[in-house]
Amino acid sequence: MIDYHLHLWSHSKPSTEATIEQLAAYCEKAAGNGVTEIAITEHFYRFREASALLKGFFRRYDASPVRSLMEEYWERNSTADLDQYVEVGLAAKKAGLPVVLGLEVDYYEGEMAGVAALLSGYPFDVLLGSIHWIQAWPFDHVDDPVVMAEWERVGVEPAWQGYTRALEELAASETVDVLAHPDLVKVAGHRPAVPEEYYDRMAEAAASHSMTAEVSSAGRRKPVNEIYPAPYLLDRFRALGIGVTTASDAHGLGDVADRAGELSQALKVAGYEELTRFSGRKPRATAL
């Protein structure tokens, strides 16, 4: 098994310098749960380089409490140095740790060409692509009552429509390699009348742009209490020949390789026999 979605810093704490010791601890915890390779994939927005490129991004959307929240959140979190992060990842690989160097890249409407150009200058092994906000609404901040109140104002169907459209546009940008937690929009437990319509579009987007999909245990720690993706979507991925990675989306040592056995079982039920690993942004199949 692999864990291809790991963060070095939690949402509630400021960024610090990455260290080989931290990565070694992650590797040890992963090995204890049957995981033989990990990818560090910190959020792109955690770095000053992202702030310099995308400063004021959310101001393209109408002023609102959630836009203000996102602007403050961005300002508070964009403090790490991308070069230092990359140097530590490369040093860990050189030291023989089973680590691949990655990044989690959100969808920035109208800005993905600039993001791709900046990231092309770094020796990443894998880039995850995520949808964490619909316009300026960070719909997955499930502990924030202001954010959760937006579900009633926006509506479930429009939320799923906006999310799916953003995912399609992210895939079409071909900036990233893997669709992370591909149905994250279900995080709070809200589902449309016919979710299969959206799931079909998500699967077609991945297939059309030769993307890999992530199978993540993170949803089991959220109100939805279900892995990403839902069984129907995982079956669609399998039917379309879409490769998969497995992940915990841990934001600290405690959740590294969380429920790896459960993910393995879900993949076997769906008919998967292989996982997809990455090196230098090139995929390769490995036995499940």
Average pLDDT over residues 142-167: 97
Q: Is the pLDDT of residue 120 over 70?
A: yes
| Predicted local confidence at residue 10, as pLDDT | 77
| Predicted local confidence at residue 14, as pLDDT | 65
The whole-chain average pLDDT of the chain stands at 96
Q: Which CATH number fits domain 2-287: 3.40.50.300, 3.20.20.140, 3.30.565.10, 3.40.190.10?
A: 3.20.20.140
As beta bridge partners, residue 116 has none
| Predicted local confidence at residue 13, as pLDDT | 67
- Eight-state DSSP code of residue 122: S
Please report, to the nearest 10 degrees, the dihedral formed by the alpha carbons of residues 250, 166, 206, 259 taken in order.
Answer: 20
Per-residue pLDDT band for 206 (boundaries 50, 70, 90) equals very high
DSSP calls for 22-85: HHHHHHHHHHHTT--EEEEEEEGGGBHHHHHHHTTGGGGSPP-HHHHHHHHHHHHHTTB-HHHH
**How does 32-50 read in b/e, with b if 16+ C-beta sit within 10 Å?**
eeebebbbbbbbbbbbebb
Q: Is the pLDDT of residue 62 over 80?
A: yes
DSSP calls for 189-228: S---S-HHHHHHHHHHHHHHTT-EEEEESGGGGSTT-SPB
CA distance 247 to 72: 29
237-278: per-residue pLDDT in tens?
Answer: 999 999 999 999 999 999 999 999 999 999 999 999 999 999
Count of CA atoms in the C-beta half-sphere (13 A) of 50: 23
Closest CA to 3 of 38, 27, 52: 38
CA distances (Å), 184 to each of 32, 160, 270, in order? 27, 10, 19
Closest CA to 161 of 120, 190, 141: 190
Would you say 99 and 124 are in contact if contact means Cβ atoms under 8 Å apart?
no
Count of CA atoms in the C-beta half-sphere (13 A) of 19: 5
Average pLDDT over residues 107-116: 97
The whole-model pTM stands at: 0.96
What are 267's two structure tokens?
């993949």
